[in-house]
Amino acid sequence: MRAKGTKGVARFSISLPGELAEQLDRMTREKGYDNRSLAIGDMIRAHLVEHRQRLGDEEIAGTITLLYDHHQRHVQTALTDIQHDHHTVIIATLHVHLDHHNCMEVLAVRGKAAPIKRIADELIAAKGVKHGKLTVTSTGKDLPG
């Protein structure tokens, strides 16, 4: 599974749901990339930048927004288990039933930045979650009006 020739060019296979691969190809064309690999490379770089934003010890408030299909086996149980493990930083969760399948869940959070980022990563990586985002604001204490 290890990518070969890692210092020069690495070539490896990936598997995606067919429909997602189709939409990737359309976006690759629309954005003007010559090929899929270049498009994916840029996405990875963009995510690395975000991932490395070292959030530390500062107190933040914010939200974690999740989109998922609640019919996916176990997704909701998994999300609730993760949330209860961290119930001291999660103030409350707003759940919106978008349609028969799709849910948007918004967690209002408050606490140290680093652990909140880890919780967000864990929730977004959970199987069945289609899309997720951590939105950080301040607790307002050190932010003059």
Give, as ranges, the residues between 23 and 52 that touch a copy of itself (CB under 8 A): 23-25, 27, 30-33, 35-49, 51
Q: Is 135 helix (H, G, I), strand (E, B) or coil?
A: strand
Contact with a copy of itself (CB under 8 A) among 57, 114, 116, 138: 138
| Strands (DSSP E) found in 34-140 | 59-69, 90-97, 102-112, 129-138
Q: Which of residues 53-82 bind a copy of itself (CB under 8 A)?
A: 61-63, 65, 67-70, 72, 76-77, 80-81
Task: Report, in Å, the least distance between residue 53 CB and a copy of itself.
Answer: 12
Q: Which of residues 93-132 bind a copy of itself (CB under 8 A)?
A: 93-104, 106, 108, 110, 121-122, 124-125, 127-132
Here the tokens at position 69 are 């299909």
Nearest to 126 by CA among 64, 66, 44, 50: 66
Task: Report, in Å, the least distance between residue 116 CB and a copy of itself.
Answer: 13
| Exposure on the CB side of residue 143, measured as CA atoms within 13 A | 8
By CB under 8 A, tell whether 133 contacts a copy of itself: yes
Judged by CB under 8 A, the number of residues near a copy of itself is 100
Contact with a copy of itself (CB under 8 A) among 21, 53, 113, 116: 21
Rounded distance between C-alpha atoms, residue 20 and residue 130, angstroms: 11
How many residues comprise the chain? 145
